[in-house]
Amino acid sequence: MAKKKTIRTIPQERTPMPEQDARERARNFKEVACGYTLENAMREADRCLQCADEPCVRGCPVGIDIPAFIQKITEKHFHGAYDVITDTNLLPAVCGRVCPQENQCEGVCTVGDSLEPVAIGRLERFVGDMAIREGWVNLPYIEPSGFRVGIVGSGPAGMACAADMAKAGCDVVVYEAFHEPGGVLKYGIPDFRLPNEVIDVEIDKLKQLGVRFECNTLVGRLFTVEQMLTEMGYHAVFIGTGAGYPSFMGIPGESLNGVLSANELLTRCNLMRARDFPKYDTPLQPGRRVAVIGAGNTAMDALRVSLRLGAEKVTCVYRRSKAEAPARAEEIHHAGEEGVLFHWLTSPVELLGDDRKRVRGMRCQKMELGEPDASGRRRPVPVPGSEFEFECDSVVYAIGTNANPILGQTSKLKLNKRGYIDTDDSLATSIAGVYAGGDIVTGAATVIEAMGAGRNAARAMKAYLGLRDTAVVFEPEAPWQGRRFGIALGEHGYARLRVV
């Protein structure tokens, strides 16, 4: 054993992420962050103190044993690191890229108290990418339980739930309305943040667990949730359809051509590959001067996609200040580096059109911050007489989404007053056997929160089906040291109905 590390002996500076040059990357769809090299990863792993109270594990929505996997990296036992992560997280290459670690594991890291926190996300991605390159798959031994589980939506919540239910021996079918599985990971998050190949690898892993994907299936309309439980013979159903009904502001000019939601821009560009028009047929009229309203992660994606589609000037319009912007600091920083302009404390009041009903500009007013509102953020108040106009030929709305109405229209599921699905603490809905999680329950949130919800729902579904959490059954001093076939015995034992 090496001598005990202290805050003074570890490398003081956080290892920087190798990145594509800002000017170059703003014109291509290749990944911005290239990923740690072996040396980078070894050095950064060395910064972890292996502290006793492990705040990072509690900070992780799925509870990855972070110190353990980092320890494996320092030992150059990378497959071991992968085993540790995949005990709780099926998608390290995805989460390492898109989790807001600064608010989760890295936000509470002990090293972060005095230095910059350990780059946990980057290390996770390093392990995930290596697993993809090397073709590692941890396939558990699965005992069929005889239960059938239907999952509505193939995004992060559905994928996480599918993985857990498949490991518990259930026959799992995932339904997706689009022609490809992946949900928001495919249509929403652009390739330069999360390449589609990475998602496809993760989906293939689910298929190897026995999960089946049925695309081109709009649940609610092709068959209802109730029919899944009755005619189709599913013993439990999980709903992870996402929020998906973009908001507009209701100001004049929103139906002008050239005004669209970030969802539409991103879907056309990412999933439908309009950026490769005319090789792909989906059209997209990219603007030369694009204004994006909102400052969340989706807004940053829309801004940076617009740049890569060839826009000359891309402006972010947000009614609060940079400090209140919901996007990750890293995303705002990247966008700024690539040449995005920011109009903070600015709110659009009207979109201006030309005689051909195309948008030609935006009238805005300046705002100032007043008293804190219900969200705890200071409420923006208009500054009288501060109106100004600027020219743009495309306006993208990225101000959030409302609840998608399809399942509410077609089932007896109880909805809350905002139209999202009402669940109890275990994510059970008003219909017995039907669980829901992710954005369709909480409203728009992050990929990892959706995955966490998918796993929590899976836990409740296993309890509902009587698939006992046998982690309590296995003696800790079992001769196999708690692991077999790459998974923890607790997890493995879900399939076994054993009573203490």
Partner 1 sequence: MTPDRGSAFEIVAREDYSDVTYMLEIRHPMMAKAAKAGQFVIVMEHEHGERIPLTLADFDPAKGTITLVIQAVGKTTREMQQNCRVGTFLHAVVGPMGIPSHIGSAKKVMCVGGGLGVAPVFPQARAYARSGAAVYGVLGFRNRDVMFWEDHFRSVCDEVVVCTDDGSAGIKGLVTKGMEQVLAAHPDIDEVIAIGPPIMMKACAEVTRPRGIKTVVSLNPVMVDGTGMCGGCRVKIGEGIKFACVDGPDFDAHQVDFDDLMARLGRFKPTEQEALKKWEESCRMGGAEVGPADRE
**CA–CA–CA angle 28, 32, 37 (5° rounding):** 130
Stretch that binds partner 1, among 26-34, 105-113, 260-268, 440-448 (CB under 8 A): 260-268
Q: Does residue 264 interact with partner 1 by CB under 8 A?
A: yes
Residues 392-431 that bind partner 1 (CB under 8 A): 397, 404-406, 409
In the block, which residue shows the tokens 């608010």?
103
Among 163, 260, 290, 488, which residue sits at the site for partner 1 (rule: CB under 8 A)?
260
List the one residue from 74, 86, 101, 267 that touches partner 1 (CB under 8 A).
267
Q: Identify the residue among 7, 22, 51, 215 touching partner 1 (CB under 8 A).
A: 215
- Which residue in the set 121, 140, 242, 326 belongs to the binding site for partner 1 (CB under 8 A)? 242
For residue 317, the Cα-to-chain-centroid distance in whole angstroms is 24
Q: Tell me which of 19, 46, 102, 200 binds partner 1, using CB under 8 A.
A: 200
Q: For residues 368 and 383, is the Cβ–Cβ distance under 8 A?
A: yes
User: Contact 293/317 with Cβ under 8 angstroms?
Assistant: yes
The reply to whether 273 sits near partner 1 by the rule CB under 8 A is yes
Minimum CB–partner distance for residue 350 and partner 1 (Å): 16
Residue 395 identity (one-letter amino acid): V
Segment interacting with partner 1, rule: CB under 8 A, options 80-88, 133-141, 178-186, 338-346: 178-186
Looking at residue 469, its amino acid is D
- Region of 72-80, 271-279, 344-352, 420-428 interacting with partner 1 (CB under 8 A): 271-279
Note whether 136 binds partner 1 by CB under 8 A: no
**Residue 441 in contact with partner 1, rule: CB under 8 A:** no
**Could you tell me if 130 and 218 are in contact, meaning their C-beta atoms sit under 8 angstroms apart?**
no
Amino acid at 302: A
For residue 246, the SS3 value is strand
Q: Is 14 helix (H, G, I), strand (E, B) or coil?
A: coil
- Nearest distance from C-beta of residue 249 to partner 1, angstroms: 11
Give the whole-angstrom CA distance, residue 281 versus residue 242: 27
**Dihedral, CA of residue 370, residue 374, residue 376 and residue 381, to nearest 10:** -20
Q: Site map for partner 1, 285-304, x if CB under 8 A?
A: x-------------------
The amino acid at 83? D
Tokens for 343? 């109009």
- Does 277 sit near partner 1 (CB under 8 A)? yes
Provide the strand spans (E) within 198-345.
Answer: 212-214, 236-239, 259-261, 289-293, 313-317, 341-343
How large is the C-alpha radius of gyration of the chain? 24
CB of 158 to partner 1, least distance (A): 15
208 binds partner 1 (CB under 8 A): no
350 binds partner 1 (CB under 8 A): no
Residue 42 or 256: the one with the smaller Cβ distance to partner 1 is 256
Any contact of residue 223 with partner 1 (CB under 8 A)?
A: yes
The pair phi, psi for residue 483, each rounded to 5°, is: -135, 145
What single letter denotes the amino acid at residue 237? V
Question: Which residue, 391, 253, 382, 263, is CA-closest to 320?
Answer: 382
Nearest to partner 1 of 280, 388 (CB atom): 280
Counting residues that bind partner 1 (by CB under 8 A) gives 51
What does the DSSP 8-state code read for residue 271? Answer: I
Q: Minimum distance between the CB of residue 221 and partner 1, rounded to whole angstroms?
A: 5
Output the smallest distance, CB 284 to partner 1, in A: 7
Binding part of the chain for partner 1, among 85-93, 207-215, 308-316, 317-325 by CB under 8 A, reads 207-215
How does DSSP classify residue 115? S
Contact in structure between 47 and 14 (CB atoms under 8 Å): yes
268 binds partner 1 (CB under 8 A): yes
- Helix pair angle (38-45, 120-134), 10° resolution: 140
- Residue selected from 12, 255, 416, 426 as contacting partner 1 according to rule CB under 8 A: 255
Which residues contribute to the site for partner 1 (CB under 8 A)?
Answer: 177-181, 187, 196, 200, 203-204, 213-218, 221-223, 242, 244-246, 248, 250, 254-255, 257, 260-261, 263-264, 267-268, 272-273, 277-285, 357, 397, 404-406, 409
